[in-house]
Amino acid sequence: MFIVMAASASEAEVNAVKAAILAEGLQPHDNRGAERVVIALVGEVGARRQTLMSRLSGLPGVESVTPISRPFKLTSREFQAEDTVIRVGGAVIGDGSLTVMAGPCSIESRAQLDEVADAVTACGATILRGGAFKPRTSPYSFQGLGVEGLRYLADAGRRTGLPVITEVMEPAQVDVVNRYADILQIGTRNMQNFSLLQAVGRIDRPVMLKRGYGATVEEWLMAAEYIVSSGNPNVILCERGIRTFETYTRNTLDISAVPLLHHLTHLPVIVDPSHATGKRWLVKPMALAGVAAGADGIMVEVHPRPEEALSDGEQSITLDSFRDLMSSLRAVHADVADLHRDPVLSTAALGVGGKH
């Protein structure tokens, strides 16, 4: 449930509500809006719901107490109506601007990364990506350069001025990845690695949580809830395709997840057309579709010579294709910007609601 404090409520009244929640063995999380404080109460409430609601309603400074109907609480639009906007370095994610995360699947050498970094920066990418710890289906495939790759990535970020994002695969890696990266990425295979979610929930850098390839939207939001409830509110969701019966594409891009997520959650949404399709020539149309559907941006794999890539060459686009993609993306983004200005109001106006 969440407790809306009156605009005139004092700090002492807010603290008294939080103390009452803690005394029940539950967790208070406050959201300080421009006008008032809203406190979410999370934890197993069970049979206490009614008595607790009426007791909290009676405390000084409390305006209203409302149950949150969704299983995800802190990530829900019910708790926070305004979009979460994430600022990292010079990049802003979720404010209506177009975020473009671009770079190689794997960091293969300093020269390879620098070549891509310079090219994507010149084209207007806002965040540099590159994998150093690679989750590969086969143990015989290239596993990434590890910490050496992280160094190249951090250096390229400093040189180009772009914030950098890279994957962290296990809790024991969080410290070292946190030292080099500006945004930590949780890959599809780890979406429900709960100890990893809690570990990245304890750091103060943004986390991009990719959708598990077999996960429902609700399971995905519950995974995001692990990170936020552990103390880190800066979570970005990335739709990267799910596994279906279709075999022509590597995965099936769930474009409907984009407006659905904007309806259900205040967190920013990124579309990854590279892993979603597995095919270079499908990357552009799917990237454009993602932005047209209202995504806050895209993540795309770029390689100077995709045929020589040590991972995901088939879905990596060339530097020239990236330049072309950027200009088309800007055009689509400019066209749809107004349509997506207020997802809460627009989905309400369309009568979207019901169970989901």
Q: In the complex, which residues of this chain contact ligand PEP (CB under 6 A)?
A: 105, 131, 135, 187-188, 210, 240, 275
Minimum gap (Å) between residue 238 Cβ and ligand PEP: 7
* Residue 240 interacting entry, from ligand PEP, Mn ion, none, C-beta within 5 to 8 Å by type: ligand PEP
* Residue 187 interacting entry, from ligand PEP, Mn ion, none, C-beta within 5 to 8 Å by type: ligand PEP
Structure tokens at 76: 């829900």
Contacts for 88 with CB less than 8 Å, ≥ 6 apart: 127, 163, 182, 183, 205, 206
Our CB check for ligand PEP shows the closer of 210 and 280 to be: 210
**Class of residue 355 by CB neighbours under 10 A (exposed 0-12, middle 13-18, buried 19+):** exposed
* Residue 210 interacting entry, from Mn ion, ligand PEP, none, C-beta within 5 to 8 Å by type: ligand PEP
Our CB check for ligand PEP shows the closer of 228 and 237 to be: 237
Q: Is 312 in the site for Mn ion (CB under 5 A)?
A: yes
Minimum gap (Å) between residue 191 Cβ and Mn ion: 16
| Residue 274 · residue 302 · CB < 8 Å | no
Minimum gap (Å) between residue 187 Cβ and ligand PEP: 3
The interface with Mn ion within residues 85-114 (CB under 5 A) comprises 105
Our CB check for ligand PEP shows the closer of 121 and 316 to be: 316
Question: How far from each other are the two terminal CA atoms of the chain, in whole angstroms?
Answer: 18
Burial 105-124 (b: 16+ CB within 10 A, else e): bbbbebebbebbbebbbebe
* Residue 188 interacting entry, from Mn ion, ligand PEP, none, C-beta within 5 to 8 Å by type: ligand PEP
Separation of alpha carbons 281 and 39, rounded Å: 47
**Amino acid occupying residue 144:** G
Minimum gap (Å) between residue 266 Cβ and Mn ion: 28
Our CB check for ligand PEP shows the closer of 14 and 317 to be: 317
* Cβ atoms within 10 Å of 157's Cβ, excluding its own: 23
Minimum gap (Å) between residue 104 Cβ and Mn ion: 8
Question: 224: helix, coil or strand?
Answer: helix
Our CB check for ligand PEP shows the closer of 95 and 148 to be: 148
The residue with its CB nearest to ligand PEP is 187
Closest CA to 258 of 186, 324, 313, 336: 336
Separation of alpha carbons 6 and 59, rounded Å: 11
Minimum gap (Å) between residue 270 Cβ and ligand PEP: 11
Contact residues for Mn ion (CB under 5 A)?
105, 312
